[in-house]
Amino acid sequence: MLAYIDGTALEVQCGETILEAARRLGRDIPTLCEFAPLGHRPGTCRMCLAEITRKDGSVTISTTCDTKLEDGMRVRTRTSEVREARRRQMMRLFADHCENCSSCARHGSCELQSLAKKVGLTLPARSGRLDPHRPGPDRSAPALVFDASKCIRCLRCVEACRQLQGIGAITLQGRGTRAAVGFDGQPWGESDRCIQCGQCSLVCPTGAISVKDETERALDLLASPKVMTVVQIAPAARIALAEAVGAPSGTNLEGQLVAGLKAAGADLVCDARWSADVTILEEGTELLERLRRQKEAGTLDKPDTMFTSCCPGWINHVEKSAPDMIPHISSTRSPQAIFGALAKTWLAQTRRLKPEQIAVISIMPCTAKKDEASRRLLEHDGKTDVDLVLTVRETALLFERCGLDILKMEPRGFDSPFMTEASGAAQLFATTGGVMEAALRTVAALSGGPKLGGIAFTPVRGLANVREAEVETAEFGKIRIAAAYGIPSAEAIVKLVREGRSPYHFVEVMACPGGCIGGGGTAREGFGREKLLKRQETVYRTDAEMPIHCSHENPEVVRLYRDFLEKPGSHLAHELLHCTYEDRSKEAECPSFEALVKAGALLKG
């Protein structure tokens, strides 16, 4: 069976759309709502038009993303009628779009602007004419901003939230020209489901969903002579930055990133892998204590599952939608929070500075880390430990604003000797299964088992949504573990725990695809499985190349416990490096009848 696209014959493949067939031929048809990595083609933008002549002689100008290629079909993608139809459709999109492009978060990287150029839009846009009364940007969420006036209703965000996180925090509301995506009719910050993972911000083609930009505040801090700026770089950030600065996927830009931050004015550039090693000591100690309690009670065969706590997206989900899991979550704070707490105490003491003279800036692949840094539960003495979080995309923008091309800079090492030395185990935090592998290397060694350090613990590696394994330990015999990413995968394990059927002693959860390498703050150009695999390969290679492979063997971590914290799980360690969680489910916010009576809010009969 043959069909023709712009005169070129091609074999018709079962179920293939005209758009897919055209791409197979190397032909580009303009698209906007379609998003291939998620198999998303809602047919809402109507930009992918082409002239289609069927075998029966009928001729139409139709969308190609949702029309199947048929035997004998002749498709023409460049006729003047087709080009004019696309231009008219583009005008309609712009008529409903607030066009303050020069101050838009996506200026220079907007898919709508690129498409306008591609279709040859010439007429002046009539911005926002269809609905001039739309509300201004919604800035109520901790990490993300929604500007309805830039939304072109492509529904990519709806699909990302539903497909990747199974959360459905964004839905399409309203009808006709008033139809828009929203958050159950509430401001975003009041969503009882959104976990601030930022996956929606990765797929939005316009400036409708963007990360709260803190580059200006970062520039102020970096230039201030009143504070010492201490920057921490997350394990994934050095790898997930590549596409944002024009390097090939999977390039580890650690040295260039350090050089760029120093050139931008950072006083100390340190490594959040160091605090990831500290995390392992604290979380590993917690796990050992939990396992010992189960051994004493003779319940090791009916595990009291412990979940990891270093992903704030996952913690948001637990607090908002699965608060009954709070007793199962490790109390150890995330590496970012641990770094902040130790920078404002240990480092401050060592440098004879007051905590307020230190400003901690985090370079993260993650939008939820912005949320985490602002949480009241993570403050000490009413002050935040992390002053500012820049996502990878903001970091690329910071360099652009400073006029720094980090790819041309000589790579530099971290500032030493504090908070910089790291093990390969800590590098693994960048990807799904990595926290688990890092913890197992230390727990297996500390509980007298065979040494796992330096060898790949392959059962938890890769990009399958859930991976599980058994580990032989001298003290507890076999323990069962699992690593999952994406909230739907985590929920499957939550269900087992709830029903008392969980076979796992320890479970790692990361919210984003592939873990932090696929975080909502990473480069948009890195979206999709192929790029994730490249980033993941670099994570494993970096671990293999590092001289130390176990967190408990990191000499700087050993020094921290010797000189400051005394031992993992000590009183001071608990005070600084652990936290509690709160039930933020909407039901919990609804006061009981008795509480209302007590507060005098109800008249007693």
Residues that bind ligand FES (CB under 6 A): 31-34, 43-48, 63, 65
Residue 142 in contact with ligand SF4, rule: CB under 6 A: no
Q: Among candidates 99, 145, 144, 103, which has minimal Cα distance to 121? A: 99
Buried b / exposed e along 230-244 (16+ C-beta atoms within 10 A): bbbbbbbbbbbbbbb
Minimum separation from the CB atom of position 315 to ligand SF4 (A): 9
Site size toward ligand SF4 (CB under 6 A) is 41
Question: Which DSSP string corresponds to 326-354?
Answer: GGGB--BPPHHHHHHHHIIIIIHHHTT--
Q: Which of 199, 252, 321, 330 touches ligand SF4 by CB under 6 A?
A: 199
> Which of ligand SF4, ligand FES, none interacts with 313 (beta carbon under 5 to 8 A by kind)?
ligand SF4
Minimum separation from the CB atom of position 55 to ligand SF4 (A): 36
- 401 neighbors 219 (Cβ within 8 angstroms): yes
Residue 579 in contact with ligand SF4, rule: CB under 6 A: no
Minimum separation from the CB atom of position 359 to ligand FES (A): 45
Q: Which residue has the tokens 């007429």?
A: 123
Question: Which DSSP string corresponds to 418-472?
Answer: SS----HHHHGGGSTTHHHHHHHHHHHHHTT----TTS--GGG-SS-SEEEEEEE
Q: For ligand SF4, which is the closer residue by CB, 160 or 348?
A: 160
- 72 neighbors 2 (Cβ within 8 angstroms): yes
- C-alpha to C-alpha distance for 58 and 76, rounded to whole angstroms: 14
Instruction: Choose the binding region for ligand SF4 from 159-167, 273-281, 525-533, 592-600 (rule: CB under 6 A).
Output: 159-167
Minimum separation from the CB atom of position 38 to ligand FES (A): 13
- What phi and psi, each to the nearest 5 degrees, are found at residue 287? -65, -45
Residue 195 in contact with ligand SF4, rule: CB under 6 A: yes
Q: Which of 155, 438, 452, 484 touches ligand SF4 by CB under 6 A?
A: 155
Residue 325 in contact with ligand SF4, rule: CB under 6 A: no
The residues pairing with 74 across neighbouring beta strands, listed in sequence order, are 4, 53
Q: In this structure, what token pair is assigned to residue 570?
A: 């000590």
Position 13: which residue type?
Answer: Q
Q: For ligand FES, which is the closer residue by CB, 34 or 271?
A: 34
Q: Which of 152, 270, 359, 493 touches ligand SF4 by CB under 6 A?
A: 152
Q: Which of 165, 305, 345, 420 touches ligand SF4 by CB under 6 A?
A: 165
Q: For ligand FES, which is the closer residue by CB, 46 or 320?
A: 46
Q: Which residue has the tokens 């379609």?
A: 34
**Other CB atoms within 10 A of residue 91 CB:** 17
Helix/strand/coil percent split, the chain, to 5:
45, 15, 40
Q: In this structure, what token pair is assigned to residue 540?
A: 């494993």
Residue 321 in contact with ligand SF4, rule: CB under 6 A: no
Minimum separation from the CB atom of position 385 to ligand SF4 (A): 17
> Which of ligand FES, ligand SF4, none interacts with 510 (beta carbon under 5 to 8 A by kind)?
ligand SF4
Q: How are beta strands 144-146 and 209-211 bridged, if at all?
A: antiparallel
> Which of ligand SF4, ligand FES, none interacts with 568 (beta carbon under 5 to 8 A by kind)?
none
Q: For ligand SF4, which is the closer residue by CB, 369 or 375?
A: 369
Minimum separation from the CB atom of position 114 to ligand FES (A): 14
Instruction: Choose the binding region for ligand SF4 from 18-26, 310-318, 442-450, 494-502 (rule: CB under 6 A).
Output: 310-318
Question: Strand ranges (DSSP E) for 332-453?
Answer: 358-364, 388-391
Residue 513 in contact with ligand SF4, rule: CB under 6 A: no
> Which of ligand FES, ligand SF4, none interacts with 165 (beta carbon under 5 to 8 A by kind)?
ligand SF4
- C-alpha to C-alpha distance for 378 and 577, rounded to whole angstroms: 9
Task: Pick out residues in 57-86 that bind ligand SF4 (CB under 6 A).
Answer: none
**What Cα–Cα distance (Å) separates residue 41 from each residue in 19, 46, 262?**
11, 10, 44
Q: Which of 22, 82, 119, 169 touches ligand SF4 by CB under 6 A?
A: 169
- C-alpha to C-alpha distance for 188 and 185, rounded to whole angstroms: 9
Q: In this structure, what token pair is assigned to residue 118?
A: 């591609």
Q: Which of 340, 486, 515, 526 touches ligand SF4 by CB under 6 A?
A: 515
Strands in 388-391's sheet, in edge-to-edge order, are: 268-271, 228-233, 358-364, 388-391
Q: Which residue has the tokens 């079962």?
A: 14
**Close Cβ partners of 193 (under 8 Å, ≥ 6 residues apart):** 167, 168, 169, 184, 320, 321
**Close Cβ partners of 51 (under 8 Å, ≥ 6 residues apart):** 59, 60, 61, 75, 76, 77, 79, 81, 82
Minimum separation from the CB atom of position 62 to ligand FES (A): 10
> Which of ligand FES, ligand SF4, none interacts with 368 (beta carbon under 5 to 8 A by kind)?
ligand SF4
> Which of ligand SF4, ligand FES, none interacts with 487 (beta carbon under 5 to 8 A by kind)?
none
Q: For ligand FES, which is the closer residue by CB, 113 or 502?
A: 113
- C-alpha to C-alpha distance for 359 and 387, rounded to whole angstroms: 6
Question: Strand ranges (DSSP E) for 77-140?
Answer: none
Strands in 466-473's sheet, in edge-to-edge order, are: 306-307, 506-510, 477-485, 466-473
User: What track of x and - describes contact with ligand SF4 for positions 205 through 224 (by CB under 6 A)?
Assistant: xx-xx---------------
Minimum separation from the CB atom of position 79 to ligand FES (A): 18
Minimum separation from the CB atom of position 364 to ligand SF4 (A): 7
**What Cα–Cα distance (Å) separates residue 29 from each residue in 77, 94, 455, 500?**
7, 19, 47, 52
Q: For ligand SF4, which is the closer residue by CB, 194 or 300?
A: 194
Residue 511 in contact with ligand SF4, rule: CB under 6 A: yes
Instruction: Choose the binding region for ligand SF4 from 11-19, 96-104, 254-262, 506-514 (rule: CB under 6 A).
Output: 506-514
Minimum separation from the CB atom of position 100 to ligand SF4 (A): 16
User: What track of x and - describes contact with ligand SF4 for positions 333 through 372 (by CB under 6 A)?
Assistant: --------------------------------xx-xx---
**What Cα–Cα distance (Å) separates residue 468 from each residue in 220, 282, 516?**
46, 23, 19
Q: For ligand FES, which is the closer residue by CB, 112 or 560?
A: 112
> Which of ligand SF4, ligand FES, none interacts with 3 (beta carbon under 5 to 8 A by kind)?
none
Q: In this structure, what token pair is assigned to residue 379?
A: 């403050």
Q: Write out the residues near ligand SF4 by the rule CB under 6 A.
A: 144, 151-157, 160-161, 165, 167, 169-170, 181, 194-200, 203-206, 208-209, 311-313, 365-366, 368-369, 510-512, 515-516, 519
